[in-house]
Structure 1
Amino acid sequence: MILGNTSAVGSRHLGEELHIVSTNISEIFGRPNMSDFFPKLAWFDLQGVERDMKKQLKMMDEIIKSMIEQRNKLNSKMSVIMKK
């Protein structure tokens, strides 16, 4: 469903956007974080890990919301066709 989707978020297909976001999230998970070694520093987010993750999760939400909206539109079109 995702890879065959032809609609776009921004200028890319949803499949491309999802791939980019999931790659970024994996990179963030693999990044060493000072607050893992010094928990008292977690509040400061010195390396911006929390900020970067929130940005990626917001993008993921937009992609999923777009997919849901498209599916709802398709379902409503199909219900109108089936009623005729």
Structure 2
Amino acid sequence: MIRNLGATGLRRKRRSGDPMQSYDALPEPLRNWLSQAALPWSPISAQRIWKRANANGRTVQEALHALSRAEEQTLARERQSFSQIETL
């Protein structure tokens, strides 16, 4: 079953624990960002970027921008890999 990853080449990982409990424990701005994200982020992955931005003294908006940049980079890699497949 593909679930919510669709036709993406993203790696699939088994996670222990309750992902909804992890999601509910996130700060509200991060939960709001995740609800609008184009990719199916795990709460742990998003929180890692969030914490790194906060540790570097970034504001909430700058942390959200860091998440958006990470998502854009991942989408760009996906587009590249799909375009390489189409040219074969």
Q: What TM-score, normalized to structure 2?
A: 0.41
State which structure, 1 or 2, has the greater radius of gyration over its C-alpha atoms. 1
Q: What TM-score, normalized to structure 1?
A: 0.42
Structure showing the higher helix proportion among its residues: 1
